[in-house]
């Protein structure tokens, strides 16, 4: 049998899925499992979006679309930036993609040479570094702790830029931490990268799920930034596999030919359905759901802290809490499986998200019903109390 390509050796397993598989096994055996692991909203696409999909199928709008997406959706996304951020984005710069993963693949196919280095924070979403590896580049993870909100700073850029470095990948809000980059810090990072002729790619797929100050898109600070977003999180369309890029005009021809060759086009039905995301009825639903996610966060963070978890930075976006469990265990991998088997509460160890102090941290998702989060806290409370009593 042919050997797999050498580049695949640098791509680690997705450990979140290992935890999820064990949770599924326990569930199949009759255990009640509360899922606080996978990063997927428990809400599905709202009724207007579902209706739009059915109507698209009924009228036969299921054929190939342009590689960059249908014009109506590209205009709708540009209008979204005008409404949300006060930015005038030329719809020609908007590239509709097969999910945010497809967007990142296109971006790095266009930007990364063999052995080119891309700086990103540690912790970070694991697939981000593997997107770079897929094109034989090197993701260089820079340890970022609570003092910088687990985000890169200008000092990180100055201290770590090398002759091989070509750019940075940021995420705001971030998976796994739920923390955003403050506008002044983002401006500083962009300035340091630009002064070296590098590229800036910013993953903004969770910006719709922000709970503090209004979010800042990188495009408002740098018109040449490459921004990635998605219909999966705020718009609750995970399985529809639809996202987008906003790219500088000079990069568009390269992105278009790559999209034509690698993807042909995004899903036609998903694109026509996504037009309904921007209707007032849909936006009202999404905003109600955003408020519900905030309610869950505001319950869960103090509840976990009362149980002894340390939440060094309160998340201001997404639906994750990055919690320090070092007072319970010296290995979050063991702790996560211990908790799963003892309580049925499924959380994710830090191993997936980088190398820096990952044994200290777990990621806890609150993309589950409020009542289930309450039950999870109750189960964890009983378990940890029993654990302390046994230790005595």
pLDDT single digits (tens) 298-349? 999 999 999 999 999 999 999 999 999 999 999 999 999 999 999 999 999 9
Instruction: Quick: pLDDT tens for 336-361.
Output: 999 999 999 999 999 989 999 999 99
pLDDT tens column, 111-158: 999 999 999 999 999 999 999 999 999 999 999 999 999 999 999 999
What beta strand segments (E) does 126-173 contain? 138-143, 165-171
To the question of pTM greater than 0.85 for the whole model, the response is yes
Q: Reduce the DSSP state of residue 37 to 3 states and report it.
A: coil
Q: CATH 3.40.640.10 region(s) of the chain?
A: 47-280
All residues at 6 or more sequence positions from 5 whose CB lies less than 8 Å from its CB, including other chains: none
* Domain 6-44+282-384 in this protein, CATH class: alpha beta
d(CA 165, CA 28): 47
Both tokens of 335, joined, read 């702790």
Domain range 47-280, its CATH number among 3.40.30.10, 3.40.50.300, 3.30.70.120, 3.40.640.10: 3.40.640.10
CB atoms within 10 A of CB 276: 22
Angle at 287 between CA 46 and CA 58, to 5 degrees: 20
Phi-psi region of 344 (alpha: psi -120 to 50; beta: other; left: phi over 0): left
From-to residues of CATH 3.90.1150.10 in the chain: 6-44+282-384
């Amino acid at each position: 049998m042919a050997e797999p390509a050498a580049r695949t050796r640098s791509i680690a397993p997705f450990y979140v899925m290992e935890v999820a598989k064990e949770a599924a096994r326990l569930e199949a055996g009759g255990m009640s499992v509360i899922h606080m692991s996978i990063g997927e909203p428990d809400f599905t696409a709202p009724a207007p979006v579902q209706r739009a999909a059915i109507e698209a199928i009924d009228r036969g709008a299921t054929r190939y679309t342009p590689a960059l997406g249908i014009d109506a959706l590209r205009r709708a996304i540009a209008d979204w930036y005008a409404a949300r951020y006060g930015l005038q984005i030329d719809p020609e710069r908007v590239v509709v993609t097969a999910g945010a993963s497809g967007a990142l693949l296109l971006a790095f196919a266009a930007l990364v040479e063999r052995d080119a280095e891309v700086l990103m924070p540690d912790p970070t979403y694991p697939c981000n570094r593997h997107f770079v590896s897929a094109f034989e580049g090197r993701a260089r993870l820079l340890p970022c702790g609570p003092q910088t909100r687990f985000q890169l700073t200008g000092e990180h850029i100055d201290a770590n830029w090398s002759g091989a470095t070509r750019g940075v990948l940021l995420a705001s809000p971030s998976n796994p931490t739920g923390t955003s980059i403050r506008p002044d810090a983002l401006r500083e990072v962009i300035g340091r990268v630009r002064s070296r002729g590098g590229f800036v790619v910013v993953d903004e797929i969770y910006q719709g799920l922000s709970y503090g100050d209004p979010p800042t898109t990188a495009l408002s600070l740098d018109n040449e930034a490459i921004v990635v977003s998605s219909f999966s999180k705020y718009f609750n369309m995970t399985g529809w596999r639809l996202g987008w890029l906003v790219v500088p005009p000079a990069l568009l021809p390269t992105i278009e030919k790559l999209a034509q060759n690698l993807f042909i086009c995004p899903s036609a039905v998903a694109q026509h359905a996504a037009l309904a995301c921007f209707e007032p009825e849909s936006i009202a639903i999404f905003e109600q759901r955003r408020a519900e996610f905030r309610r869950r966060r505001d319950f869960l963070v103090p509840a976990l802290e009362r149980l002894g978890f340390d939440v060094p930075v309160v998340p201001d976006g997404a639906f994750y809490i990055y919690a320090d469990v070092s007072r319970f265990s010296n290995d979050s991998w063991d702790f996560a499986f211990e908790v799963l088997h003892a309580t049925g509460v499924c959380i994710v160890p830090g191993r997936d998200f980088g190398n820096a102090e990952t044994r200290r941290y777990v990621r806890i998702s609150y993309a589950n019903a409020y009542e289930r989060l309450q039950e999870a806290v109750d189960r964890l409370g009983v378990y940890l109390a029993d654990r302390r009593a046994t230790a005595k």
